[in-house]
């Protein structure tokens, strides 16, 4: 595995592969790699000649009161995991090479960026879209891999790819879960033992809502109430940012469930903000 | 010359050339081609294996009170001029293929977009940056050609290219002028005969300012005054949007001229807004 820190060198290396007709799979990450990330890398390995993984804790996508400083970092352990999966290139840029002092460009996807988590994390998806646009231009991948756990992020990125004519395929991979259903996330490491048990209520509540849809309930309002009740029953969940039943592409609220929807929730347990979602078909 | 209307086909065609190791030069235009555009195409022909010219009157970069509807369009005449220069591909997309109903992404270059013309044309450079990002992703050029006449535009695009890691070279070509110095522009066709004569005052006034710098004047304030006096003396100039002496990269106002600057002006003659600039070295 090659470890490259300079964007220009990654760009030239990837371009050489593409010129030889090789397909390039790309898995952008913020490190603190877990089974979710590894499933993306495995999928990229299966579908492409070359796999590039990036680790970059992107300051642009953290709000001023968010967890940028304490976001988990362990490059050596990450690097070993990536290497064990026979990744070809690990791209490890530092902040200064990604954002020069004169940096002043942003990519904004209006509409879908402002819903759900966007209401609680202003600027977050602008930061995501901007860094992903940069990474796409550096790596010029054939396919880029994202986890469904960050569902809104996948919608924002797909919209950006279409709108700005990026020539690549966005591949969304299923959420990987712990045995009790908790979606695996780098932020789970923030949870104390009791909080960790409480966190399982998120998936349990979403699943109950999804089950009710499958059994014929068509009122999104009643489904949301069911999920909220499940979450409220867990005392360590100290805030529910939202429970939402939304359209797959627009993220607009659905009232009557007549087609496949996303059932999504964001909560706080202590200071830790956790999100999860389920695709629910009628 | 191939005329292609579908972005996807241009993308695949250009990619094939790049895969074969051919360099691609790109000249994005809004049509109404004049000697300025043709000089960009000739330069691209000299420096690249393949030349792509686009004609797209980009609605995103026109304000609600601007001249989108009356902007000059003559695709047949343009097409003949482009073909005569042995351009390889003419890209002629229509609005619907560039902007789908769900389109919602924008690229913004803060700072440099807000100065000079940005103060009078809110959203203009956002529209420019967005469409140029799209065109760059469609054409994936080796080099892209822009005229110095739209100096601020070249600064915005260069900043975007660096910030978003576009892998291409931005080439800025000299302003082409009429015999009396007027910078050639598609908007010159709006001018009546007397207005046309009056318009020469723009370059004449900027040149007088530049001359004073060359003769040792170092106060940007006095240079601006000289240019403003020259413009004010021309009765058909009914508004001066700005006269500015600014830094080449940041477009910040300069007070004491100690290095190369841009001396720029924007005026109205009747309803026609005209801009021009000169690079002035000490």
Residue B26 burial (CB count, 10 A): 28
Tell me the mean pLDDT in the region B271-281: 97
How many CB pairs (< 8 A) connect A and B?
Answer: 92
Using a pLDDT cut of 90, give the percent of chain B over it: 99
What pLDDT was estimated at residue A122? 97
Determine the residue among A164, A247, A249 to mutate to test chain B binding: the one whose Cβ has the most chain B Cβ atoms within 10 Å: A164
Q: Determine, for residues A105 and B163 on separate chains, whether the beta-carbon distance falls below 8 Å.
A: yes
Q: Determine, for residues A159 and B11 on separate chains, whether the beta-carbon distance falls below 8 Å.
A: no
Catalytic residue among A37, A124, A179, A203: A37
The first and second tokens of residue A148, run together, are 């469904």
CA angle at A55 for the pair A49 and A57, rounded to the nearest 5°: 150
Chain B residue closest in CA terms to A129: B105
Neighboring chain B residues of A164 at a CB cutoff of 8 Å: 105, 107, 130, 133-134, 137
In chain A, domain spans: 2-173, 186-275
Give the C-alpha separation, B234 to B198, whole Å.
6
Tell me the mean pLDDT in the region B5-20: 97
Neighboring chain B residues of A248 at a CB cutoff of 8 Å: none
Of A7, A134, A167, the CB nearest to B11: A167
Q: Determine, for residues B110 and A106 on separate chains, whether the beta-carbon distance falls below 8 Å.
A: yes
What tens digit of pLDDT does each residue of A136-170 get? 999 999 999 999 999 999 999 999 999 999 999 99
The first and second tokens of residue B64, run together, are 């609600």
Q: Determine, for residues A105 and B105 on separate chains, whether the beta-carbon distance falls below 8 Å.
A: no
Of B109, B164, B250, the CB nearest to A133: B164
Q: Determine, for residues B159 and A105 on separate chains, whether the beta-carbon distance falls below 8 Å.
A: yes
Neighboring chain A residues of B11 at a CB cutoff of 8 Å: 165, 167
SS3 percent helix, strand, coil of chain B, rounded to 5, is: 40, 25, 35
Tell me the mean pLDDT in the region B75-84: 98
Give the C-alpha separation, A253 to A239, whole Å.
21
What pLDDT was estimated at residue A63? 95
How far off is chain B from A252, nearest CA to CA, in Å?
A: 13
What tens digit of pLDDT does each residue of A170-219 get? 999 999 999 999 999 999 999 999 999 999 999 999 999 999 999 999 99
What tens digit of pLDDT does each residue of B223-263 get? 999 999 999 999 999 999 999 999 999 999 999 999 999 99
Nearest to B183 by CA among B277, B280, B249, B263: B277
Chain B residue closest in CA terms to A105: B109
What pLDDT was estimated at residue A1? 97
What tens digit of pLDDT does each residue of A218-260 get? 999 999 999 999 999 999 999 999 999 999 999 999 999 999 9
Chain A residue closest in CA terms to B6: A165
What pLDDT was estimated at residue A132? 98
Q: Determine, for residues B164 and A111 on separate chains, whether the beta-carbon distance falls below 8 Å.
A: no
CATH number for domain B2-173, candidates 3.40.50.620, 3.90.1300.10, 3.40.605.10, 2.40.37.20:
3.40.50.620
How far off is chain B from A70, nearest CA to CA, in Å?
A: 27
Nearest to B41 by CA among B78, B82, B73, B5: B82
Chain A residue closest in CA terms to B157: A105
What pLDDT was estimated at residue B38? 98
What pLDDT was estimated at residue B194? 98
Chain A residue closest in CA terms to B125: A105
What pLDDT was estimated at residue A27? 99
Residue B234 burial (CB count, 10 A): 18
How far off is chain A from B221, nearest CA to CA, in Å?
A: 26
Give the C-alpha separation, A178 to B226, whole Å.
73
**What b/e readout covers A116-134, taking b as 16+ CB neighbours within 10 angstroms?**
bbbeebebbbbbbbbbbbb
Annotated active-site residue A34? The verdict is no
CATH class of A186-275: alpha beta
Determine the residue among A104, A115, A129 to mutate to test chain B binding: the one whose Cβ has the most chain B Cβ atoms within 10 Å: A104
Q: How far is CA B91 from CA A190, B12, B49, B145, in A?
A: 52, 13, 17, 15
What pLDDT was estimated at residue A224? 98
Pairing label, strands A261-269, A272-280: antiparallel
Cα-Cα-Cα-Cα dihedral sign, residues A255, A257, A261, A263: positive
Per-residue confidence at B212, pLDDT binned at 50, 70, 90? very high
């Amino acid at each position: 595995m090659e470890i490259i820190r300079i964007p220009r060198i990654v760009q030239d290396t990837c371009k050489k592969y593409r010129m030889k007709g090789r397909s390039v799979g790309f898995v952008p990450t913020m490190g603190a790699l877990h089974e979710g990330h590894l499933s993306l890398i495995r999928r990229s390995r299966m579908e492409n000649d070359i796999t590039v993984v990036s680790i970059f804790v992107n300051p642009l996508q953290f709000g001023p009161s968010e967890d940028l400083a304490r976001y988990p970092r362990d490059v050596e352990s990450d690097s070993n995991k990536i290497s064990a999966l026979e990744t070809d290139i690990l791209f490890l840029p530092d902040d200064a090479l990604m954002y020069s002092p004169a940096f002043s460009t942003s990519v904004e996807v209006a509409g879908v960026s402002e819903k759900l988590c966007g209401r609680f994390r202003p600027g977050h998806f602008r930061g995501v879209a901007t860094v992903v646009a940069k990474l796409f231009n550096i790596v010029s991948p054939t396919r880029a891999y994202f986890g469904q756990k960050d569902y809104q992020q996948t919608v924002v990125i797909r919209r950006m790819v279409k709108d700005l004519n990026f020539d690549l395929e966005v591949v969304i991979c299923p959420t990987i879960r712990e045995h009790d259903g908790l979606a695996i996330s780098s932020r789970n490491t923030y949870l104390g033992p009791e909080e960790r048990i409480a966190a399982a209520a998120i998936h349990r509540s979403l699943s109950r809502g999804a089950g009710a849809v499958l059994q014929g309930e068509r009122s999104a309002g009643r489904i949301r109430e069911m999920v909220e009740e499940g979450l409220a029953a867990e005392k360590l969940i100290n805030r529910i940012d939202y429970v939402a039943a939304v359209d797959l592409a627009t993220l607009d609220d659905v009232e009557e469930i007549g087609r496949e929807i996303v059932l999504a929730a964001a909560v706080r347990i202590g200071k830790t903000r956790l999100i999860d979602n389920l695709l629910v078909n009628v």
